[in-house]
Structure 1
Amino acid sequence: MKNNKLFVAIILALIMGIIAGAINHYYFPSFQEEFSKNVKLLGTIFIRMVQMIIAPLVFSTLVVGIAKMGDLKMVGRVGSKAMAWFIIASLISLLLGLVLVNTLEPGKKTNISLEQLDGASDILEKTQNFSVEEFVKHLVPKSIFEAMATNEILQIVIFSILFGIALASLGRKGKLIISSLDTLSHVILKMVTYIMWVAPFGVFGSVAAAVSKHGFGIFSLYANYLIAFSVGIIVLWIILLVVGYLFLGKRLFVLLQRIKNPLLIAFSTTSSEAVFPKLVEELERFGCQNKIVSFTLPLGYSFNLDGSMMYMTFASIFIAQVYGIDMSLGEQLTMLLVLMLTSKGVAGVPRASLIVIVATCAMFGIPPEGIALILPIDHFCDMARSMTNVLGNSLATAVIDKWETKPINNG
């Protein structure tokens, strides 16, 4: 009942956000910038409230999950299954984006220009030092406290895995620490229950700010781009749901019912990270083992972002099409493999997809300034890919949990 009330509240906030943003954009254009800036604070407050508990939650749940497994062979087995799933899912998502952008060719039909470089300079600046050296530095934390302070999920995951393995090897000596971290994770999950009721305000603020700033006219300008991208997201969802049904059967619909709130929040706030704590809670309620959720989900947030993966190849080739750059099949497949690797180094970084796209474009001779072409519409694309990331990680966790337990009755 509480879940349904929250779902209804978020839907109402989404509708009210669209209405408020549209009224401000079309009837009070002089206040457009100020309104957008101020109302967006509601979304910022919600995101920051969630961000403040992500680091301790990832650390405590992942360490406890590994320690509870006890058998390090099980850690290796679950980890290898998870990584195999993530790699295959990433390749399929990247390949799907590549196929669709070449088939639909939105960049050759869209009449847009580089007149507005809003925000592009900031992203270009962030990618100037993007290299193999930076990739490795981002991968391994030099301080766990720094990683936690900046919410670097991938770095926290690496430290937590090592800490959990070491703790599990201590046997009885480590039981007190395991018990304490287990209690900490339950306290944080209780905090999640309170924070989620701020979600409708966050949704209202995020949506109202976006509509107020851009209005509905932007959708006609980018019609071909949005239509092609929407086709990609729909096809990706169909693939994910079919694969999910093959493994989970009718329980797939139970899972979708459980994660409807996280999906909606991710869609409205453009942040899959914002629903991580809630997702942990809902997957456990679905029936997944705590130790599997605690281990697999944080890994998924670093290595299994299906929606973002599809978008990276799609947007990169789109920019090339607009500039009239024809890339051979070999170049495009090489780009796919490069994206497969570089995307893993910026997990948890704000606007990570755009940063990776710019770096990849520069690597293949595509003008990186072309990122300005997609910036105005990126917020709306981000809504869809964030929701897709949540679905992909939920399915991966549920399937891996099934592999590690007795067969689930699909009926």
Structure 2
Amino acid sequence: MKLLNNLTVRVLLAITLGILTGYFFPETAAKLKPLGDLFINLIKMVIAPIIFLTIVLGISNMGDLKKVGRVGGKALLYFEIVTTGALAIGLILANVIRPGDGVQTAAVKGGDISKYTEQGAGMDWTEFFLHIVPSNAVKAFAEGDILQVLVFSMLFGVGLTRMGEKGKPLIQTFERLSNVFFNILGVVMVLAPLGAFGGMAFTIGKYGLSTLLPLAKLMGTVYATMILFIFIILNLILRYYKISLWAVLKFIKEELLIVLGTSSSESALPQIMDKLETLGCSRSVVGLVVPAGYSFNLDGTTIYLVMATIFLAQVFGVDLTIGQELTIIGILMVTSKGAAGVTGSGFIVLASTLTAIKVIPVEGLALLLGVDRFMSEARSITNIIGNTVATIFIANNEGEFDRAKYERVLKQEAENELADYKY
């Protein structure tokens, strides 16, 4: 059937099969995590080289180092404004809907949170920001540290640009290498349905749909808030340049489904960079904005962190003052920036925030263990959409967006989709 040749359809079928397998055969499904991990590892294998090559080629082709600094500065300013907006929206809706009211702590199955609270209490955020600059570039690539690879790649691109004509042969070599890695990515994407199946089956089989019931109101509130953020705030940002958010989401639907199945935004990072170039954004803007956004523009994670904090305050009957809530926003504006670079980041960052404000019991994190995996899909999808919108916005702002290409690509995409669904 021609319909099955469409990657979107295959991934959607894999997610559906994963949910059914997890629900009806939970013990077997709980053992399928390696399938999802295998796919994510294959993607991680090419992330660092693709980021490096995209940034270096983008900077060297840009030529103007002042422009590089300007684009980077605009990106950081955009990230801070939008992230602060996400924090404010999460805070307001959590106070209006009050998902923590009536939740009985004894009725929710807890878990061992000691590793998170210990790491959260001991986090040194000065050390985190110093960690941004790699002491060993090879180690940064080996460990797949996106932020460190980004910094090294920018410096390498600047150094190559300063060589002028002497650097041209190396640039041509990097162009060929870039094509090789994107061809590797094309091969890896064949396994995307397998990864989505394994990831979704494991989530349902291990945690079960029953874990959602006690905290259904929190989950519903978080999902609703992220939907509103995407279709109101991010939509308005794109409409400023007369870009259709819905058209962009349709264009990246395969990546969104892969993120949904694997619960990891990293699983779609290289594809999103490639798609954004295809859509009309210049390579230089894509190379700078997307990798930086994975550490500094985590809209979904930011919304979740502030809502989870307010939720726990409501559960334990802690009436936060306006000053305390503004303090929480201030702390999260800093701590959320480290969320992408820390294993188990959601709980560790949340633990460090609760430790810093010293008002809400840190032990309350145990309440969130059962549903965190289910909310990670919403966080990851919102993060990747947020970075997609940021890249398109900054590309337009810099005059680095090819609108004719954008319209041509979307028209071709619509024709291909129509052909795929013909029997």
Residue range with higher mean Cα deviation, 180-189 or 239-248? 239-248
Distance 1:325 1:186, change over 3 A: same
Does residue 303 of structure 1 match 2:296? yes
Distance 1:102 1:237 in 2: 20
- Mapping of residues 214-233 of structure 1, within 5 Å: 214-233=207-226
Structure-2 residue corresponding to 1:147: 140
Question: Secondary structure of 2:100's match?
Answer: helix
Structure-2 residue corresponding to 1:293: 286
Alignment check: 8 A CA contact 1:109 1:224 kept: no
Distance 1:108 1:74, change over 3 A: same
Deviations 1:39-66 (A, max 9, x none): 1111010111111111111112112211
Alignment check: 8 A CA contact 1:110 1:225 kept: no
Does residue 46 of structure 1 match 2:39? yes
Structure 1: runs of 5+ lacking an equivalent: 26-31
Distance 1:280 1:297 in 2: 7
* 1:139 Cα offset (Å): 2.2
Distance 2:120 2:178 in 1: 35
Structure-1 residue corresponding to 2:377: 383
Does residue 403 of structure 1 match 2:397? yes
Structure-1 residue corresponding to 2:6: 5
Alignment check: 8 A CA contact 1:127 1:358 kept: yes
- Mapping of residues 300-379 of structure 1, within 5 Å: 300-365=293-358, 366-379=360-373
Deviations 1:87-141 (A, max 9, x none): 1110011111111111111112323438744352332233242023432343222
TM-score with structure 2 length normalisation? 0.89
Distance 2:106 2:136 in 1: 44
Distance 1:250 1:404, change over 3 A: closer
Residue range with higher mean Cα deviation, 175-184 or 67-76? 175-184
Structure-1 residue corresponding to 2:90: 97
Structure-2 residue corresponding to 1:393: 387
TM-score with structure 1 length normalisation? 0.92
Structure 2: runs of 5+ lacking an equivalent: 408-423
Alignment check: 8 A CA contact 1:93 1:309 kept: yes
- Mapping of residues 37-186 of structure 1, within 5 Å: 37-113=30-106, 116-186=109-179
Q: Which amino acid aligns with 1:397?
A: T
Alignment check: 8 A CA contact 2:121 2:355 kept: no
Count of residues paired in the alignment: 403
Alignment check: 8 A CA contact 1:18 1:207 kept: yes
Q: Which amino acid aligns with 2:265?
A: S
Alignment check: 8 A CA contact 1:202 1:269 kept: yes
Alignment check: 8 A CA contact 1:113 1:373 kept: no
Question: Secondary structure of 1:107's match?
Answer: coil
Alignment check: 8 A CA contact 1:154 1:347 kept: no
* 1:251 Cα offset (Å): 4.4
Of residues 156, 181, 186, the one that matches 1:188 is 181
Counting aligned pairs with the same residue, the percent is 38
* 1:38 Cα offset (Å): 2.0
Q: Which amino acid aligns with 1:69?
A: M
- Mapping of residues 234-273 of structure 1, within 5 Å: 234-273=227-266
Distance 2:320 2:196 in 1: 40
Question: Secondary structure of 1:389's match?
Answer: helix
Distance 1:261 1:118, change over 3 A: same
Deviations 1:338-363 (A, max 9, x none): 11112223424333222111100011
Alignment check: 8 A CA contact 2:301 2:380 kept: yes
* 1:406 Cα offset (Å): 7.1
Q: Which amino acid aligns with 1:362?
A: T
* 1:276 Cα offset (Å): 0.5
Structure-2 residue corresponding to 1:28: none
* Cα-Cα RMSD: 2.2
Alignment check: 8 A CA contact 1:258 1:283 kept: no
Alignment check: 8 A CA contact 2:30 2:205 kept: no
Distance 1:345 1:5, change over 3 A: same
Alignment check: 8 A CA contact 2:30 2:203 kept: no
* 1:205 Cα offset (Å): 0.8
Alignment check: 8 A CA contact 2:15 2:200 kept: yes
Structure-1 residue corresponding to 2:20: 19
Question: Secondary structure of 2:13's match?
Answer: helix
Residue range with higher mean Cα deviation, 85-94 or 291-300? 291-300
Distance 1:70 1:308 in 2: 35
Question: Secondary structure of 1:113's match?
Answer: helix
Distance 1:141 1:166 in 2: 17
Does residue 275 of structure 1 match 2:247? no
